[in-house]
Structure 1
C-alpha cells in the first residue's frame, strides 16, 4: 500500500522518538492506561497523526470507553485507512493514517457503546498529537 507521505525507515527513525517509531512504523501497542490522551477530553480541537500531522479525529468524536486507550467513534472523512490484521491468531481491523500509513490502532464494532456509529477506534496516544484549533472547521469558514 502506498501513501502520499513515503519515507524510508531511517528517515522515520530520525524524525520519531523510539516509542513513536515502534508503534507508528512497527505496529506496536502502548500499555493500557499509559497514554497521555486516554483521559484527555477537550471541548474542541483535533487529534492529528504524530508522524505527519495529518488531522485524524476531532475532539467531539472522542468518547469515554474505559478501554485504556483513546477511543473515537468516527474519523475526519478520508483520514484513516482500514485493513484486515490477522496477527495474534485472530482477525481484527487495523487503522492507519491515510497520509503516511502510520499505525494508529484497531477498530471494534458492535460493542454497544451509545455512539452514532457503534464503533470504537482504539488508538495509541503515541500515534496522536493534539492541536487546540480545528483545521477542518477553519478550512470551511
Structure 2
C-alpha cells in the first residue's frame, strides 16, 4: 500500500519511527519481504502450537503434571544440573580445579550436562505456563 505524498509534505522517516517498527521502514525491500515471510511462518507455527494445547481444564492439569513430573525424579533433566553444580562446587572447595586438560574436559562435560538439563526444565516450564495461560480470564486466542 503506497501513500501519495507531495514533495512539500515529504519528510524523512525518523530513527525512532524506524525503531518502533523494528527497522522495517528503512530496510531494503528484499530484506523486508524476507523478514515478513519468516514472521508469517513463525506466526503460523505459534498458532498451531497454541491450538495443540489442551482446552479442557482437567486435560490441561494432566498435561502440566505430565510435563513437570520429569523434574521430580533423579533420571530427569532436573537432576543433571543439580548434580553437575554440586560436583563442580566440591572440586573447587577441594582445590581440584587445576589447569590440567583432564580437569578442563571434566568441567566442560559437567557444565554441558547442567545446561542441557536447565534447557529441558525451561522448556517444561514454558509449556506449562502456555497451557495455564489459556485459562486466564483475559486470554485471547492467538491468530497468525
Classify the TM-score, shorter chain: under 0.3
The structure whose residues are more often strand, as a share, is: 1
Using structure 2 for the length normalisation, give the TM-score.
Answer: 0.20
The structure whose residues are more often helix, as a share, is: 2
Using structure 1 for the length normalisation, give the TM-score.
Answer: 0.21
Q: Computing the radius of gyration over CA atoms, which structure comes out larger, 1 or 2?
A: 2
